[in-house]
């Protein structure tokens, strides 16, 4: 009895509003440390790892403290628009610290990233009346649009890979804030904040603990990849989360429109279409509406013809980075291949990983079918999306840090600790630039811990099931 009382007193003490507010202020103040993280790929890894290794536990502590307070007063955060009390003011205070952290990071140099140069260039080209899908940045036909950052664009020999709605956002940023990285960060952060709002509304709709939203809103990876590094994924994440929330709340037409816009930002939300069709009795009508939205988005760029997807094909064909199951399967395929005589046909398939890609496509098709069959109602959409996009990461040849943001909002809604933890573990991917020898150890830890956290709940359930009479 004494130990239980001691634990309750301990929890009560560290859940006090003064302590939580102090920790939130410290969390936002730590964002100033990003000014001292070198932006280079090699030099930035260890300082960035230190920064997020400090901030991530602060986020977990704030989540834990707010969860304890919610247990004592479960209705406090469900209606934030009603009368204010100390719990609601504390919640607002923590949210304000998360917003302050984003504002601080607006003024920091992007760390280990350069994609934003392409976004700014595409916006500049589009607002100049030129189709950004036709010419690669290096093309001399665009010399009259020369800017001081044109030479900084990565893969300048390739045409843009970003679909139409992303181009409209780039153009909006170019019109409002010409050639301004700060302006681009502000625009992309607006989508990030909108995602946080939808998550809070979704948690409130499900009558779940809204403290879970802090695991997105205060997540160091979210702040780094959007407010610091200006990744466009904040756009597609907002549209996908909003689409699923609309479907969950029976606003089906709005859901399909948001999904169409998400597909026109990055293509992966298209995987949700069969799940929507299963639950939507009017799916034929809504697919027609969504298709119309997609066609309208692509219409201004149709003059590019077959060039619309040339950049995307190049990246899909050659790029491999921080792969998990893809890397394991590819190594196994190559080990088997050396047992047979080398032929030009086999060499070609190995060079472009065709064998491996066929295997992972087959695995993903099986996973997709299982997830589709398991979905029974709108309530299961968040979990289906989490595992659908999660398996994309596990099987993909590329698992960039910002790709984890595709999964994170749904992991928050489901309460999946494994995927939430991966938002920290994925930093190990940058170890490749620090030391190729050390990268093997970093990535082994990265994926070992992830798989342990993902599959431990299943193992635990199986153990309990065997022990039950």
Q: What is the pLDDT of residues 373-427, one digit of tens each?
A: 999 999 999 999 999 999 999 999 999 999 999 999 999 999 999 999 999 999 9
Out of 49-58, 90-99, 352-361, pick the least confident.
352-361
Residue 140: inside a domain, yes or no? no
Residue 457: inside a domain, yes or no? yes
Q: Work out the pLDDT band at 113, boundaries 50, 70, 90.
A: very high
pLDDT the model gives residue 291: 97
* Residue 27 neighbours by CB under 8 Å, 6+ apart: 55, 58, 59, 62, 97, 98, 101, 218
Residue 249: inside a domain, yes or no? no
Residue 239: inside a domain, yes or no? no
Residue 270: inside a domain, yes or no? no
Instruction: Give me the number of domains the chain comprises.
Output: 1
310 CB-contact burial (10 Å; exposed 0-12 / middle 13-18 / buried 19+): middle
pLDDT the model gives residue 3: 41
pLDDT the model gives residue 465: 63
Please say if the pLDDT value at position 11 is more than 60: no
Q: What is the pLDDT of residues 418-433, one digit of tens each?
A: 999 999 999 999 999 9
Mean pLDDT (the chain) is 89
Residue 315: inside a domain, yes or no? no
Q: Work out the pLDDT band at 10, boundaries 50, 70, 90.
A: very low
Please say if the pLDDT value at position 351 is more than 80: no
Residue 113, token pair as written in the block: 């990233």
Structural domain containing residue 343: 324-357+378-469
Residue 99: inside a domain, yes or no? no
Please say if the pLDDT value at position 1 is more than 60: no
Residue 151: inside a domain, yes or no? no
Over residues 43-69, mean pLDDT: 92
């Amino acid at each position: 009895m004494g130990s239980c009382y001691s634990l309750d007193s301990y929890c009560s003490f560290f859940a006090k509003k003064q302590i939580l507010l102090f920790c939130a202020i410290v969390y936002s103040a730590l964002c100033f440390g990003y000014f001292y993280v070198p932006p280079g790929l090699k030099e930035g890894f260890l300082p960035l790892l230190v920064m997020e290794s400090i901030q991530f536990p602060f986020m977990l502590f704030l989540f834990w403290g707010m969860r304890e307070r919610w247990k004592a007063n479960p209705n406090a955060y469900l209606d934030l628009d009603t009368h204010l009390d100390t719990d609601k003011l504390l919640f607002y205070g923590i949210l304000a610290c998360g917003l302050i952290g984003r504002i601080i990071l607006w003024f920091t140099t992007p760390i280990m990233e350069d994609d934003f140069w392409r976004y700014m260039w595409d916006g500049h080209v589009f607002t100049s009346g030129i189709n950004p899908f036709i010419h690669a940045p290096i093309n001399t036909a665009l010399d009259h649009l020369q800017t001081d950052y044109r030479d900084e664009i990565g893969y300048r020999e390739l045409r843009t890979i970003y679909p139409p709605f992303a181009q409209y956002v780039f153009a909006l940023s170019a019109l409002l804030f010409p050639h301004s990285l700060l302006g681009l960060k502000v625009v992309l952060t607006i989508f990030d904040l909108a995602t946080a709002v939808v998550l809070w509304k979704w948690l409130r709709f499900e009558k779940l603990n809204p403290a879970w939203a802090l695991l997105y809103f205060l997540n160091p990876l979210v702040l780094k990849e959007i407010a610091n590094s200006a990744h466009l994924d904040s756009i597609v994440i907002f549209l996908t989360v909003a689409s699923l929330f609309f479907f969950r709340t029976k606003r089906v037409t709005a859901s399909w429109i948001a999904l169409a816009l998400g597909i026109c930002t990055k293509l992966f939300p298209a995987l949700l279409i069969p799940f929507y069709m299963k639950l939507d009795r009017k799916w034929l009508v809504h697919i027609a509406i969504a298709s119309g939205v997609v066609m309208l988005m692509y219409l201004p760029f149709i003059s590019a013809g077959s060039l619309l997807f040339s950049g995307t094909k190049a990246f899909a064909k050659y790029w491999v980075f921080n792969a998990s199951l893809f890397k394991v399967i590819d190594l196994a395929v190559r080990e088997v291949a050396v047992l047979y005589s080398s032929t030009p046909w086999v060499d070609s398939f190995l060079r472009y990983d065709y064998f491996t890609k066929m295997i992972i496509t087959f695995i993903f098709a099986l996973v997709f079918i299982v997830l589709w069959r398991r979905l029974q109602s709108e309530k299961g959409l968040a979990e289906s999306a989490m595992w659908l996009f999660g398996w994309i990461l596990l099987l993909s040849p590329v698992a960039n840090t910002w790709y984890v943001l595709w999964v994170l909002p749904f992991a928050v809604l489901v309460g999946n600790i494994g995927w939430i933890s991966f938002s920290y573990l994925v930093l190990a991917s940058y170890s490749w630039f620090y030391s190729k020898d050390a990268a093997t150890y970093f990535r082994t830890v990265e994926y070992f811990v992830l798989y342990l956290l993902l599959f431990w709940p299943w193992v635990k359930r199986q153990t309990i099931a065997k022990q039950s009479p």
